[in-house]
Structure 1
Amino acid sequence: MADTFRNLPNSLALLFALVSGALITLSFAPFNLWPITLLGLTTFALLLKEQPRNQVLWRSFAFGVGLYGAGIHWIYVSIHNFGGAAPLFAAFLVLIFACFMALIFTLPFYIYGRWFSYHRFALLIALPACWLLGEWSRTWLLTGFPWLFLGYSHVDTWLAGWAPVTGVMGISFILAANAGAIAELVWHGKAARQQKPVVISAITLNLAFWVSGAVLSSITWAKPEQTPIKIGMVQPNVDQSTKLTFNEESTLAALNQLRELSTDLWNNDWVVWPEAAIPTSLTFHEALPFLEEMNSKAAAANTALFTGVIYEDRDKQKYYNSIAGLGEGYGFYHKRRLVPFGEYVPLEDQLRGLIEFFNLPTSFIHLGPQDQHGLIAKGVRITPAICYEIVYPDLIAQAAKETQVLLSVNNLGWFLDSIQSKQFMQMAQMRALETGRYLVYSTNNGPSAIIDNKGKIISQSNSFTAQTFTGVIHAVKDWTPFMITSSGPLVILCTLLLLALQLPQLYRKQPD
């Protein structure tokens, strides 16, 4: 098989890489066909083996275009339906974004193509190391876009046991190692028998990852407290177009709906409203009469109320996408990871006004301070995450050290009934699994959910219905190993593995 892949025409290789990347999407929610991950990644590994650097880069780029073109095609909905872009132009912008993400995806494979493509352990060690470094870089480079990490496809398999230990990227590393081992066997075919010790070691190690994952799944790293916390959530299901109209009638209707839907929820310990529950036409100060009324009702019922709201810092003349605590809920939290174009406009002077999408009325938000503390509800400390923030593994893991429960408030109406909401909840489940914390997952359009400390959905609401939703959670004080280490040790390990592979070659090049 080596000659087949080594001599594959470049045009055909690029097509295979594109399709392989696109197929990865089927491994995530709502499809959950996790074996597709190994199929697509194994094909990708074979396409990179013993190829010159320029071919490695082109094939990596093609794989990235397929991965992001298929995996995040749902941004078309936001650009076209709410950004006012014509269908063809919206599709073009999606392609541009996919190509941009593919360029970032390709960066670590420059290292692979430059030094490791022909190495004996290219597939077994260099490939998974480069893959993990790539996922890690996408959590921070240009503020980060940590979407479509391979590990998310295994939130319900044996490998999920690794999440509290290594985080989602550790699972991605294991999957890349699995695919590299399979690709190595395919590459050598019958000749693999001549490398019997290496082959047996690789197979044994990869099987050990799965078996040990099953064992780790049985461990409760962070034990929940016995006292139940009763949660009531309001899911307003306000149409996104209505949210963007900013007229008095729709604003009053939204406030009245919140008032009415909350009437039967005040017997809960917490009542949670989603992101932007208070219409963005009103800032916190402008909505004070209504909020004071709700504060009084929550306090009288001994209930903590949390709501999404735009907060205006009048001294600094800044606006924040925030969560406010009322009644027995205390604190403000301002969002620390903003959505490009949705909440701020990169290259604002050049892009604003070009099309409606670059001039959305919500794209005026400022970045919240990085040193914020969480919210508090009746003595329980909470890690808040506003929408996009829940997809950042290290951000949530570090914040959870000081808290006992995760709270995610979201407005996913920008993407209607696309696969985005399913992917997003799957990532939220991984955060609960990584931190061993219960997660209160509140959305405007649904589904809203209660997720336990094992990342399992205990119960959830229906999508695109205005309804209330209740459940029970428990506070958790202990830390998981991942909360202690975050992704740092994995990044160091992969860097050392690549250096270890390259050092012998560097040594041989030293003059006598």
Structure 2
Amino acid sequence: MIAGALQTLTLSPFYLWWLGPLSVFMILLITVNQAPEKLFRSGWLVGLGLFASGASWIYVSISEHGNTSIPLAIALMVVFIAGLALFHGLAFWFWGKLTKSSAPRRLLLFPAIWILSDWLRGWLLTGFPWLYLGTAHTDGPLGGLAPITGVHGITFWITTTAVAIYGAWWLIQSGRKVSASAVTVAALLPWFIAPALKATDWTELGKEPLSFAAMQGNIPQQIKWDPDFLRDQIVTYLGMTEPYWETDLILWPETAIPIPQDQAGPVIEHIREKLGENSTLITGIPWYGYSSQTEDYTFHNSIMAIGKGEGMYHKQKLVPFGEYVPLEGLLRGLIGFFDLPMSSFSPGPKDQSPLASSGMNITPYVCYEVAYPDFAAINARNTELLLTISNDGWFGDSIGPLQHLQIARMRALETGRYMLRGTNNGVTAIIDHKGQITERIPQFQRAVLTGEFYTATGNTPYMQTGSWPVLTLALILIVFVRERVIPAN
């Protein structure tokens, strides 16, 4: 559990990236020689430590915004954390099945098992692509691998490094010091090469910067969907934007216009009239209408470009219980948490067109979507700018919103593009093509962020291949290193 909890400290707001290999090394010390039947428990405890320390912010949305009593909120949080920890438990169980009691096989297969478990967790049942070890290297030395391998490739090398250190220690005990030195050098080499790669430009930035303004309204979550306060929210954002109508790109956060687009015609028209000739405003807005995908009238959580831009994007990756309720017929109405406002969205269709603004194509991500590495990379192909809107008011002053910001930074680093981030209550920021924040405003304040950004052309290697090279390598290792291929001794 301690080893799992250390991995949370590698991420924002702690940034102790060097604890990543240490955590994995600690796990190996305990498990490499452990009986196979005990590995499920060990893996589950690792996951329990990781998610209890790194994802317990879910309690804020369940308790404070889900109209749920404290004991029930705690119980639901525990179920959530214990359920996520099963991914690690099952991965370690599978690891034991493949390797039996062979320490060499366990060492060789550990990175492959870890990566496939991470990928599965980010895919199964919508997925929870959060707390990946590689995300810590937005500020760590392996960040230079991100445009080549993506976050899973970085995680793979973190685990490989820990395996190599353990293996070198074992070789020294066996009197094979030359082999131990060779293993150590091979493991550490990428840690010295990757920083140089981070200086490499995989994309080409535009020559002229464009102006940007983002409004952080800091609207209390308790009144977000209260009909008595809908008009006040729109007036707030219009007032904040008043000095910035001539800005090239203006950004309002997720559902900044808290009424569906079919009822927001006067607001949208007013924005068009106020915008400068070459200005675009992009805002979050619910969409309601007939969907050919569902063959019925439905709601989408959407983002819309107004003015010099055009386009409407419907969110594809929905948050379970926040935007839709799994097993709705059984759970809806059972407790307040299953009846959160606007928890009946439908996912948008695949292959949607990017948003457009003054001739540039923009890839939008609504809130949770930015956490999916391959989804983000594929959608970013042949566009010039990334943009994400969110409402992290669901998670209060926990570490969740700060983790979310770091995840957005990793997506910028993987794609070699600027990422513009607009949120209701923070963190609103401009992130450059190297994943570094150039401008930001404090959380929990009503404020306007202003700054400049550059468009980018060209695709990074990771955008072209996604995570498949790393996942394929993991599968190859499993095929050729499993128990029936390499003898036990």
Q: Distance in 2 between matches of 1:122 and 1:209?
A: 23
Q: How has the CA–CA distance of structure 1 residues 165 and 117 changed in structure 2, closer, same or farther, with 3 Å as cutoff? A: farther
Which residue does 1:278 correspond to in 2? 257
Matches within 5 A, 1:407-486: 407-486=387-466
User: When the two structures are superposed, what TM-score results if normalisation uses the length of structure 2?
Assistant: 0.96
1:306 aligns with 2:282: yes
Matches within 5 A, 1:41-190: 41-116=24-99, 118-122=101-105, 124-186=107-169, 188=170
Cα deviation for residue 119 of structure 1 reads 3.0
SS of match in other structure, 1:262:
helix
Q: 1:263 aligns with which of 209, 233, 242?
A: 242
Q: How has the CA–CA distance of structure 1 residues 474 and 446 changed in structure 2, closer, same or farther, with 3 Å as cutoff? A: same
The structure whose RCO (Cα within 8 Å, separation 6+) is larger is 2
Cα deviation for residue 312 of structure 1 reads 0.3
Which residue does 1:7 correspond to in 2? none
Q: 1:223 aligns with which of 204, 215, 228?
A: 204
Q: Distance in 1 between matches of 2:177 and 2:102?
A: 18
> Unmatched 5+ residue regions in structure 2?
none
Q: Distance in 1 between matches of 2:328 and 2:88?
A: 25
AA at the equivalent of 2:13:
P
Q: Distance in 2 between matches of 1:129 and 1:386?
A: 31
Q: Distance in 2 between matches of 1:275 and 1:126?
A: 42
Q: Distance in 2 between matches of 1:54 and 1:354?
A: 38
Verify the 8 A CA contact 1:266 1:301 in the aligned structure 2: no
Q: Distance in 2 between matches of 1:508 and 1:494?
A: 20
User: When the two structures are superposed, what TM-score results if normalisation uses the length of structure 1?
Assistant: 0.92
Q: Distance in 2 between matches of 1:190 and 1:492?
A: 32
Deviations 1:59-107 (A, max 9, x none): 0011111111111010000000001222222111111011111112333
Cα deviation for residue 120 of structure 1 reads 4.5
Verify the 8 A CA contact 1:234 1:262 in the aligned structure 2: yes
Verify the 8 A CA contact 1:51 1:113 in the aligned structure 2: no
SS of match in other structure, 1:133:
helix
Deviates more, 1:117-126 or 1:160-169: 117-126
1:191 aligns with 2:173: yes
Verify the 8 A CA contact 1:123 1:184 in the aligned structure 2: no
Aligned sequence identity (%)? 37
Q: Distance in 2 between matches of 1:339 and 1:426?
A: 19
AA at the equivalent of 1:204:
V
Q: Distance in 1 between matches of 2:50 and 2:431?
A: 28
Verify the 8 A CA contact 1:123 1:180 in the aligned structure 2: no
Matches within 5 A, 1:289-304: 289-298=266-275, 300-304=276-280
Q: Distance in 2 between matches of 1:201 and 1:102?
A: 35
Q: How has the CA–CA distance of structure 1 residues 481 and 189 changed in structure 2, closer, same or farther, with 3 Å as cutoff? A: closer
Aligned length: 484
Verify the 8 A CA contact 1:165 1:480 in the aligned structure 2: yes
Q: Distance in 2 between matches of 1:393 and 1:60?
A: 24
